[in-house]
Amino acid sequence: MDGKLTGFIRNDSPVTLEQPAVILGTNVLVLKDLAPGAQQSVKLAIVTTSFGQSLSDRIFGQSFFGDPTAANDLARRAQTRHQVIDQLTFDPMFGNLGTLDAEGPVILAWGRTGVLDVQVEGQTANKVANILYYVPAAMGVHGRVAFSGDLVRSTMTGSDAAFFNKDPNAMTFAQGTVTMAYRPIAFDGTFAADHLRIAASVGPDSGVGVGVKTEPIPDVCLDPKAKHPETCPRQPPLDQFDGVPEIELFDRTGAGSWHRLPHPAMGVTYDMANAERYVDPGTGQVLLRLVNEHQDPVNIYLNVSIEGTVK
């Protein structure tokens, strides 16, 4: 993959495919119209992009429409196609998400052949048709790859907090713990992880930087009955609340165990030492447990990047 989605599209249908586009998360590549039998190569760089722009604007560009009854055929067609894509990406709770609900790449293309032949006796019908072809495509992932941004899906797998709420931009929860699973989009093969980067921020646009190399706190430092070595990191007092929860990682080695990280700072990226201990080689999944030890709720977004080689 090497940070790019590559391949080709061939039109084996008898109709021209208009404005074909390859979609992967918020990444979009718009191609030229494909005549029957025509073929185009695909090379789409996978980057973390803003969640603020709608998918229809990424495909067609921003447009301002006037009275649709007075517009010409080109403007009416563009308006209709904008609205169809907006319906595909609209969530009744959170509005326009700007992404399709799909694990892998999707090819979108348009046709204008009438689906139903309509005839009105004594009248000449004005036939206007817009057909959307929605084609999920298979994707092979291999070589060096970094899963981040909208290529990583998050799921809450457990919580004992008094309340928990999650939307595309943040999660909010009260005193207690929340366990989250972060999993890359599906791939075939074995994943050898060498970087696991975590950044607490106010939203997905903040991204993940190179990161500060970080190791979990030794268990002895968290045991209230043990004598703490001088090398133990200093944790913030419970009466000093900065709105950031503690983060624990699930170590998959042996019988499996949870390890707490040093208290994270907002906006700082942490690059975990021995990343392979925490990343499932079959799925790339990482388990994180967020701990809020205060009565005040936390409101936070975790940017997670998982990097390595797929074989």
Mean pLDDT is highest, among 105-119, 184-198, 217-231, for: 184-198
Which pLDDT band holds residue 304 (cuts at 50, 70, 90)? very high
pLDDT at 48: 65
Integer Cα distance of 79 and 250 in angstroms: 49
CB of 214 closer than 8 Å to CB of 197: no
pLDDT at 180: 97
Domain boundaries, the chain: 4-136, 147-310
* pLDDT greater at residue 76 or residue 200: 200
pLDDT at 70: 47
Instruction: Answer whether residue 234 shows pLDDT above 60.
Output: yes
Which pLDDT band holds residue 105 (cuts at 50, 70, 90)? very high
Instruction: Answer whether residue 109 shows pLDDT above 70.
Output: yes
The string of pLDDT tens digits covering residues 47-93 is: 765 556 889 998 988 766 555 554 577 778 888 899 999 999 888 77
pTM: 0.82
pLDDT at 75: 79
CATH class entry, domain 147-310 = mainly beta
What's the CA angle centered on 127, arms 123 and 128, to 5 degrees?
150
The string of pLDDT tens digits covering residues 120-134 is: 788 776 667 889 999
| Measured CA distances, 281 to 143, 158, 181, 186, 309 (Å) | 14, 22, 14, 12, 10
* pLDDT greater at residue 217 or residue 120: 217
Instruction: Report the Cα–Cα distance between both ends of the chain, in Å, rounded.
Output: 11
pLDDT at 203: 74
pLDDT at 53: 80
pLDDT at 104: 87
Instruction: Answer whether residue 119 shows pLDDT above 90.
Output: no
* pLDDT greater at residue 117 or residue 258: 258
Q: Which residues on adjacent β-strands are paired with residue 196?
A: 306
Lowest mean pLDDT of 72-86, 170-184, 242-256, name the range.
Answer: 72-86
* pLDDT greater at residue 55 or residue 235: 55
Question: CB neighbours (10 Å) of residue 228?
Answer: 12
Q: What is the mean pLDDT of residues 149-155?
A: 88
CB of 4 closer than 8 Å to CB of 41: no
